[in-house]
């Protein structure tokens, strides 16, 4: 029994003796099935074949990206606050080097995900950092690939974390349950909005765009 990971999107499914017959994420209109069809792997199989690049983007904010690219090429962020650290969005690949680096920064206190394309191996991350809570908006519940007690669903339009040091804001758009993370103390107290895929700024007129797009199911 193992938890299989979709090679195409990086999503991890619950323990099973054989891979799932379908990937919920890839067969949705917002993603696609690769040209070779559905392919699967495990965390054990990919260990040592990739490396996570960790970069300090600014004081208290680190980005984490896997090289060479795995899955959709997701990027995660670690935000440091005086009340603990949060992992915003997630990547599939997690090795001991990454665990040690994050522990030197103080470990993780929580995880939050913008939308299902970043679910990846969130449950493994939670368990390996002390079963920290994963915060998802309730409208993402039907997309969860690997249910676990560490996943906490919230309702409404906004949720304070760490005594208001961080705020989750329900935006909808790309997915009904899409959420963003607001870090008021970021950028020298000017505030930082971590948004995942959306909302995005329109570079022509400064307006805010929400995304809902379809991709060809054949991967072309």
pLDDT digits (tens, 9 = 90+) for 141-155: 999 999 999 999 999
pLDDT band at 34 (very low <50, low <70, confident <90, very high): confident
Q: State residue 209's pLDDT score.
A: 46
Question: What's the angle, vertex CA 89, arms to CA 87 and CA 90, rounded to 5?
Answer: 85
Q: State residue 201's pLDDT score.
A: 55
Q: State residue 62's pLDDT score.
A: 98
Q: State the average pLDDT over residues 6-10.
A: 95
pLDDT band at 83 (very low <50, low <70, confident <90, very high): very high
pLDDT at 208 over 60: no
Q: Where are the alpha helices (DSSP H) in the chain?
A: 43-46, 96-104, 122-128, 186-189
Q: State residue 199's pLDDT score.
A: 57
Q: Where are the domains of the chain?
A: 2-209
Q: State the average pLDDT over residues 134-139.
A: 98
Q: State residue 207's pLDDT score.
A: 52
- CATH number attached to the domain at 2-209: 3.60.15
pLDDT band at 220 (very low <50, low <70, confident <90, very high): very low
pTM here is 0.89
**Among 9-23, 25-39, 71-85, 179-193, the least confident range:** 25-39
3-state secondary structure 123-134: HHHHHHCCCCCE
- Contacts of 41-48 with C-beta under 8 Å, sequence gap 24+, read 41/4, 41/5, 41/7, 42/2, 42/3, 42/4, 42/5, 43/3, 43/5, 43/12, 43/92, 43/93, 43/94, 43/121, 43/124, 44/2, 46/5, 46/70, 46/92, 46/93, 47/95, 48/95
Nearest to residue 178, comparing CAs of 166, 194, 201? 194
pLDDT digits (tens, 9 = 90+) for 93-115: 999 999 999 999 999 999 999 99
pLDDT band at 205 (very low <50, low <70, confident <90, very high): low
Per cent of the chain over pLDDT 90 is 80
């Amino acid at each position: 029994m193992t938890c299989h990971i979709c090679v195409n999107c990086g999503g991890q499914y619950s323990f099973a003796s054989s891979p799932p017959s379908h990937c919920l994420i890839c067969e949705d209109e917002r993603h696609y099935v690769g040209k070779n069809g559905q392919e699967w792997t495990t965390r054990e199989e990919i260990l040592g074949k990739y490396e996570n690049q960790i970069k300090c983007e600014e004081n208290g904010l680190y980005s984490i990206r896997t090289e060479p690219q795995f899955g959709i090429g997701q990027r995660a962020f670690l935000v440091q606050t005086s009340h603990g650290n949060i992992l915003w969005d997630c990547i599939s690949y997690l090795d001991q080097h990454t665990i040690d680096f994050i522990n030197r920064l103080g470990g993780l206190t929580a995880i939050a995900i913008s939308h299902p394309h970043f679910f990846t191996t969130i449950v493994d991350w939670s368990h390996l950092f002390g079963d920290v809570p994963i915060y998802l908006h309730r409208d993402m519940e039907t997309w969860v690939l690997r249910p676990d007690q560490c996943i906490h669903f919230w309702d409404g339009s906004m949720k304070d974390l760490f005594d208001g040091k961080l705020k989750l804001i329900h935006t909808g758009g790309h997915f009904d349950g899409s959420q963003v993370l607001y870090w008021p103390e970021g950028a020298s107290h000017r505030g930082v909005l971590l948004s995942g895929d959306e909302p995005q700024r329109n570079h022509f007129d400064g307006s805010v765009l929400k995304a809902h797009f379809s991709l060809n199911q054949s991967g072309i």
